[in-house]
Amino acid sequence: MAFFKKSKKDTSLSLKDIQLPLHIGIIMDGNGRWAKKRGLPRTAGHTAGAQTFRRIARYCSDIGIKYLTVYAFSTENWKRPKEEVDAIMKLFKEYMIEAINDFQDDSIVVKFIGDRTVFSDDMLELIEKNENDSKDRDGMVLNIAMNYGGRDEIVHAVKDIFADIQNGKLTADDISDQLLSDYMYTKSQPDPDLIIRPSGEYRTSNFLLWQSAYSEYCIMDVLWPDFKSEHLDEALIDFAKRNRRFGGV
């Protein structure tokens, strides 16, 4: 993967001048620091970050992005204080209820990626309703990574492949890069071309480890609640100027 840090704004290009990436990922980072800078509880940062997510997801759909994957809650985030985790889960539930109504007139296809076994029955019901209600839409695919970890995803894929070898559906000779991709949560989707990380941190944080082998990374010095469509435009324009060789010359 390649990293580059957004610095000076380039005003020589606009979105109409470039070819957009097919699939972008966003690590929605910086909610807690945003709140701390303002003397607010971390939960206030997550509330502000949720509003940014709604705005940016719709903007991506409007400009023609085909796939958007957002990192909302990792398998490691359960280590945070219970009050903070409970607040995030409350926001997640509110979003799912809201999305059932708000997205019904949108073309966005909603998918949830991650380990669902930890969620309550009412949460699972809302997840399934969002997915079922949106599955026949023809617009942008929005992947929301909840209780997601890249290593955990690979482990799940390997276990599923092993089970299918044991029951005779596969043989060891069938194992390939493509087969592994077909067992990931994002199966049938293209790998992300660009992954954006607000907050200025240089870490993948266990996000789409398998899928991001040749992704370009854009690190931006803006906390997620302050992230605007203009920041996304800058990242997309910078990405368009990259020379992607995929291991070649």
The distance of Cα 7 from the centroid of its chain, to the nearest Å, equals 23
- CA dist 1 and 94 (Å) reads 35
Written as one string, the DSSP assignment of 141-180 is EEEEEEEE-HHHHHHHHHHHHHHHHHTTS--GGG--HHHH
Catalytic residue, from 10, 77, 133, 164: name it: 77
Q: Would you call 233 a catalytic residue per the annotation? A: no
Give 101's Cβ-side CA count (13 Å radius).
4
Q: Is 28 left (phi over 0), alpha (psi -120 to 50) or beta?
A: beta
Q: Would you say 36 and 225 are in contact if contact means Cβ atoms under 8 Å apart?
A: no
Q: For 109-244, where are the E strands, in sequence order?
A: 109-113, 141-148, 194-198, 216-220
Q: Is 107 left (phi over 0), alpha (psi -120 to 50) or beta?
A: alpha
User: Which residues are CB-neighbours of 101 under 8 A, at least 6 positions away?
Assistant: none
Q: Would you call 77 a catalytic residue per the annotation? A: yes
- Compute and round to an integer the Cα radius of gyration of the chain: 18
Catalytic residue, from 29, 106, 191, 233: name it: 29
Handedness of CA 206, 212, 218, 223 (dihedral sign): negative
Closest C-alpha to 231, from 66, 59, 44: 59
- CA dist 222 and 96 (Å) reads 26
Q: So which residues are the catalytic ones? A: 29, 77
